[in-house]
Amino acid sequence: MTEKKWYFDASNPSALPDDLVPVLEDKGIPLDHVRLCVKSDLSLNMTRSDTYLLLCGDDDLISISGAVSLFRRPGTTIFTRKNRLERRFETDEYDVFSLSALSDFKVEEQIASCRFTAKTESGDYILLANLSNSYKSDFYTFSRFLGEFKKDGKITPDEHASHGRDSMFCPKCGTRYIDEERKLCPKCMDKSHIIARCGEFVLKYKKEIVLLILMLILTSALGVLAPYISSEFYYDEVLDKSGEFYGQILLVLLIIIGTRLLNVFFNVIHSLVTTTIAANVIYDLKKVIFSSIEKLSLSFFTNRQTGGLMTQVTRDANTIYWFFCDGVPFYLVNIVQIVAILVILLVKNAFLTLLTVVTVPLFFFGMRYLFRKMDKFHIKRWTRSRQMNAVLSDILTGMRVVKAFSKEKDETVRFDKSSRALASAEIDTSTFATVAFPFMDLCIYISNLIMLGAGGWMVIRGTMTYGTLLVFIAYMNMILSPLGSFVNMIYEFTDSLNAMSRLVEIMDAKPDVQEAENPEHFPDGVCRGQVEFKNVDFSYEKNRKVIDGVSFLVEPGEALGIVGHTGAGKSTLANLLIRLYDTENGSILIDGIDVRKLAYDDLRQNVAIVSQETYLFMGSILDNIRYARPDATEEEVIEAAKIAGAHDFIIQLPDAYATVIGFGHKDLSGGERQRVSIARAILRNPKILILDEATAAMDTETERKIQTALERLSEGRTTITIAHRLSTLRDADKLIVIENGKIPEAGTHAELIAQKGIYYNLYRLQIEAMKNIGIEE
């Protein structure tokens, strides 16, 4: 019996589970007094039970803990089919708190569970609920609603909220969705839809597919014909005196050669067709997958491991091709062939056929069992080989540390352990295979024995000819030999289906950040460079704000500096401005236009970012700088490199601008890479330039030089600089300090120093550090 689970729903937070209705009625609480109701799975005593926290009326915060039990309804017997059982919620604990006496609602995260607490009027803490992490996000929302209610006396449901935890589980079978957004249940997945979507790739080559299947049919028809000619026809009609073609051996030989030749011909055509569509289909698949992936927003790539994704893509493309071009046709043709042979055999001698087919189910189920078992061995081997590779790459990457602490011996032991584990799994796998499969061959052998015995007896009694017996044996083997692969079919098809659903998932995945349908452009295509953040909220994870109500304004041509601790949200601000992510609440405006409405081209053309992580593509330094503007002249490239302080080191390189990074073991240092990236951004000639710790890997002198150059260049250009080192920011017109996603301080350097706040402290610390090494500023 699948019971409907009840979950908190932020779009309808007053919804009640049916279980609670009798409890509330019992306590005399009108149901429409319930304003909020949230569920947790742990009671106040940390025992697992259904616990609900309700806000009723204007001031009652009620905690109800208990469990659902099933009872037999009075008047029913065990034979009653319907409504025999009654659900009843048995209350164990019932507490009422007064909302007005409480404040500071907080979800306190612990190791693997949370506590929901509040403060009383006297300043003491009070525990309102315990919950496992599964209910964490529900309680965060609940806590927010409570706060709102205390403040404004009303609750505004989140209209756009997905329907609580309900949206995380398949409504049909209750299985957790793999991806909440996509609602794809691995159990109830619409398989035919997925196959149809992927089939499109193959069906493009209709003619070839038809040809392919035709060839397969012809080959198998010949396959059925061949044993007949070489045994029954040969022995009974040619070698036997009573035969119609007695003595015409040459004729038979010619027929045999003819069928062989035809067979070869069909096979060649089949292979030719296969190779062409295989390459094309795989190419098409990869192209579609790659372009779909590229369209996705950055969050997709941070959620999944990108490297694994690409290998998956390549493997999936092959698997999907296999399914449509090898798998399905192979099985179809084989099934047709087996049915045809069975019909022939039944017509020829029904009794002998049935006698020999008896062993088939035995063989079939035996094989299935073995394959399942084999599968487990394979998973084990796979896991262990993954483990060994992980250890290996761990040790090799950390070789510097290993050597520094002379731990070579210990690491050898560690590697040896995982290597041995893999070896033992491999031995298990092959031992099993070598022992088990020969036994299965015995099954085939048994059916041969039955045939030889019973058939021989029939030949002696004269009820069957010698030729027919030989045909029987040949056909029987033709049925039994593909059976092995039939057993495996189920697994191979499941595999393909997985690959296909991944493909459909990627093709259907909607980017979180999308260009507006009717994007706006800058008036006359000219961007002035004014940037404004208005009450911007953002969180990577639900309910945990990284940016919390941030507002600031940068006028065209101004230089803004952003300071703050690591993880305070500085880089997030930059990512939001260039729309790698979108804001949740509030808006970001460039020249008064919301970036979400701005055309991608206008945005990317006018805003450039140089970030901490610099990435140079394969190719020469010239290509890398020109990446921003492929039509830039050589002079422009050199100029940009000069401003970025890159020209001087580039010109020292043997191949100068044509230096291919990585070629001849020439790699650039972190600081050099940063300078190339800056040149790239300068070449773009953006109205708004964001430098996100862009000079962090350089020495202060180089940094200074680049800054002076940038300054000269920055006339009429808005610059946003994010830095740890305060000296980097000393020329900024305005500074903002980011802490915990908020802006507690903003102003010029002098103003902030006068405020004696966070900035002052940071500044003092850095100055002191300088003094310690003998530099006074």
Partner 1 sequence: MAEQNRTALKEVVSVTYITKDNAKFEKSSDFIKMTATLPNEEGVAEEKTWDRIFLHRAFPFDFPFAYISVLDADTKELGMISSVDDFDEETASLLRAELERKYYTPVIKKILSVKDKFGYSYWKVETEEGEIEFTMRDTFSNLLKVSGTRIFASDIDGNRYEIPDIEALDHKSFKKIELFL
Output 44 or 650, the one with its CB closest to partner 1: 44
176 binds partner 1 (CB under 8 A): yes
Range list of β-strands (E), 485-592:
531-538, 547-554, 559-564, 585-590
Q: Counting contacts by CB under 8 A, is residue 118 touching partner 1?
A: no
3-state secondary structure of 31: helix
Angle at the Cα of 206 from the Cα atoms of 205 and 207, rounded to 5 degrees: 95
Under the binding rule (CB under 8 A), the answer on residue 100 touching partner 1 is no
**Residue 513 beta carbon to partner 1: minimum distance, rounded to whole angstroms:** 24
Q: Which stretch binds partner 1 (CB under 8 A): 139-147, 175-183, 684-692, 714-722?
A: 175-183
125 is a contact residue toward partner 1 (CB under 8 A)? yes
Q: Using the rule CB under 8 A, is 379 a contact of partner 1?
A: yes
Residues 356-375 that bind partner 1 (CB under 8 A): none
Shortest Cβ 586–partner 1 spacing (Å): 28
Q: What is the DSSP letter of 383?
A: H
DSSP at 133: G
Comparing CA positions, the residue from 549, 556, 607 lying closest to residue 583 is: 549
Site string for partner 1, 448-487 (x = CB under 8 A): ----------------------------------------
110 touches partner 1 (CB under 8 A): yes
Taking the C-alpha atoms of residue 743 and residue 371, their distance in angstroms, rounded to an integer, is 62
Tokens of 399: 């070789």
Q: Does 656 bind partner 1 (CB under 8 A)?
A: no
Chain Cα centroid distance, residue 153:
42
Give how far Cα 555 sits from Cα of 533, 586, 733, Å.
12, 19, 10
CB of 380 or CB of 730, closer to partner 1 = 380
Closer to partner 1 by CB, 373 or 521: give it. 373
**186: contact with partner 1 by CB under 8 A:** yes
Q: Which of 64/209 has CB closer to partner 1?
A: 64
Q: Is 507 exposed, middle or buried (0-12, 13-18, 19+ CB in 10 A)?
A: middle
Q: Does 383 bind partner 1 (CB under 8 A)?
A: yes
* Helix segments in 135-180, DSSP class H: 136-152
With residue 300 as reference, give the H or E element that holds it. Answer: helix 298-303
Task: Check residue 48 for interaction with partner 1 (CB under 8 A).
Answer: yes
Partners of 130 in the β-ladder: 42, 115
**Minimum distance from residue 501 beta carbon to partner 1 (Å):** 7
Q: Is 586:549 a contact under the CB 8 Å cutoff?
A: yes
| Torsion angle defined by CA atoms of residues 212, 214, 220 and 222, in that order, rounded to the nearest 10 degrees | -120
Select 508 or 634, whichever has its Cβ closest to partner 1: 508
- Binding of partner 1 at residue 754 (CB under 8 A)? no
Of 124-132, 197-205, 330-338, 760-768, the window that binds partner 1 (rule: CB under 8 A) is 124-132
Provide the phi-psi class of 247: left if phi over 0, else alpha when psi is between -120 and 50, else beta. Answer: left
Number of residues this chain uses to bind partner 1 (CB under 8 A): 32
Phi, psi for residue 49 in degrees, rounded to 5: -160, 165
- Tell me: does residue 126 bind partner 1 (CB under 8 A): yes
| Residue 386 is a binding residue for partner 1 (CB under 8 A) | yes
The residue (of 189 and 767) whose beta carbon lies closer to partner 1 is 189
With CB under 8 A as the contact rule, the residue among 380, 407, 604, 629 that binds partner 1 is: 380
How near is the Cβ of 282 to partner 1 at its closest, in Å? 22
Residue 100 contacts by C-beta under 8 Å, 6 or more apart in sequence? 59, 150
Phi, psi of 551 (to 5 degrees): -135, 135
Q: From residue 493 to residue 532, what is the string marking binding to partner 1 with x (rule CB under 8 A)?
A: -----x--xx------------------------------
Angle at 143 between CA 141 and CA 146, to 5 degrees: 110
Residues in region 127-156 near partner 1 by CB under 8 A = 127, 130, 132-134, 136
Question: In sequence order, what are the residues at sequence separation of 6 or more whose Cβ sits closer than 8 angstroms to the Cβ of residue 770?
Answer: 776, 777
Q: Could you tell me which stretch among 155-163, 171-179, 249-257, 446-454 binds partner 1 (CB under 8 A)?
A: 171-179
Q: How far is the CB of 186 from partner 1 (least distance, A)?
A: 4
Cα angle 600, 602, 605 (rounded to 5 degrees) comes to 100
Name the residue nearer to partner 1 (CB basis): 340 or 421. 421
175 sits near partner 1 (criterion: CB under 8 A)? yes
Residues 568, 574, 576, CA angle at the centre, nearest 5°? 100
Residues contributing to the site for partner 1 (CB under 8 A) = 42, 44, 46-48, 110-113, 123-127, 130, 132-134, 136, 175-176, 178, 186-187, 376, 379-380, 383, 386, 498, 501-502
